[in-house]
Structure 1
Amino acid sequence: MKQLNPLDMKNLFTPATTAELTRRIDALRPDTKQLWGKMNAAQMLAHCNVIYEMAFEDKHPKPNAFKRFILKMLLKNSVVNETPYKRNGMTAPQLKISNDKDFGAEKDRLIQYIRQTEAFGAAHFEGLESHSFGPLTSQEWNNMFYKHLDHHLSQFGV
């Protein structure tokens, strides 16, 4: 997959990107079929919410120092760079969603997280500690959030 120019990466800290993502999420229905992968639409929304839970809430245990070092060395760059995710990639265990989820509740939560990200703005995220990778720049946070959302919304054709 080709690497995007950082100038082409959508900016999650702007109203235009929030509106675009909200429109795409609103186009989803509980019965929207995935183009690849195993999750249904409600599970995908819940999966996307976990990334925000790790950023905004103290809900998930942090990896120990050794595991964080390994994650930082092996995965950080591929998660925070501008290269889109490949289809059917590996998913971290804490991000796997296999049980039933409430589509409406997960959809509302995700839209709230996206709006909260915009409201906080880039300055809030500059140097903010990531759950798994240590401090990230606001551009790295933006890349991680946006390309993850774009990947999964594309997975469902929206």
Structure 2
Amino acid sequence: MKNIFEASVTNEIIGRINQLSPESKAIWGKMSVAQMLAHCCVTYEMIYDETHPKAGFFKTLIMKLFVKNIVVGPKPYKKNSPTAPAFVIKDQRNFQTEKKRLIDYLNKTQELGGTYFDGKTSNSFGNLTESEWNIMFYKHLDHHLSQFAV
């Protein structure tokens, strides 16, 4: 798994994002490209903006037992996998706005570095290691950028 905390990897991801256009079409799934960018921003909103509530004890336990290994494990996501309700983007979004937000979040994450995230609490999974944060960040972005053929 590539390390999103390395500048070269962050720059590679940003380069892939910059290959997208408002007319980019998905190979699978129902999201527009702007919705996909907004969807990818949700992870970072949960960390930096605290706009999403933390899961309660019972939900966190269920998420740890049944979902965590899918999200932070090395296996790629399957196409058309279900997502958590907070990640569902139903309304139309502005491509340029969402693209800028995602790139800004990526730059902030890379600047903070992996040690900032080591032991940091995820809204859904409790404390994660630096490696688990990296996998979650990189795998999710790679999955959706591949969805749009970049």
> What TM-score, normalized to structure 1?
0.93
* Alignment match, 1:149: 141
* Alignment match, 1:18: 10
Say how many residue pairs are matched.
Answer: 150
CA drift at 1:61: 1.1
* Alignment match, 1:119: 111
* Alignment match, 1:36: 28
Q: What amino acid is aligned across from residue 25 of structure 2 in structure 1?
A: K
Q: Which runs of 5+ in 1 are unaligned?
A: 1-8
**Out of 100, 107, 116, which is 1:108 matched to?**
100
Partner Cα separation in structure 2 for residue 38 and residue 108 of structure 1: 22
**Out of 51, 57, 65, which is 1:59 matched to?**
51
Partner Cα separation in structure 2 for residue 10 and residue 105 of structure 1: 27
Q: What amino acid is aligned across from residue 21 of structure 2 in structure 1?
A: R
Partner Cα separation in structure 1 for residue 56 and residue 114 of structure 2: 28
**Out of 85, 93, 96, which is 2:88 matched to?**
96
Q: What amino acid is aligned across from residue 85 of structure 1 in structure 2?
A: Y
CA drift at 1:55: 1.7
* Alignment match, 1:134: 126
CA drift at 1:40: 0.4
Q: Which runs of 5+ in 2 are unaligned?
A: none
Partner Cα separation in structure 1 for residue 64 and residue 48 of structure 2: 20
CA RMSD in angstroms, aligned pairs only: 0.6
CA drift at 1:63: 1.5
CA drift at 1:15: 1.0
1:80 aligned to 2:72? yes
Partner Cα separation in structure 1 for residue 63 and residue 123 of structure 2: 10
CA drift at 1:74: 0.5
CA drift at 1:37: 0.2
Partner Cα separation in structure 1 for residue 69 and residue 49 of structure 2: 23
SS in 2 for 1:86: coil
Partner Cα separation in structure 2 for residue 56 and residue 84 of structure 1: 25
Superposed structure 1 runs of 4+ greater than 2 Å apart: none
Q: What amino acid is aligned across from residue 113 of structure 1 in structure 2?
A: Y
CA drift at 1:56: 1.6
* Alignment match, 1:5: none
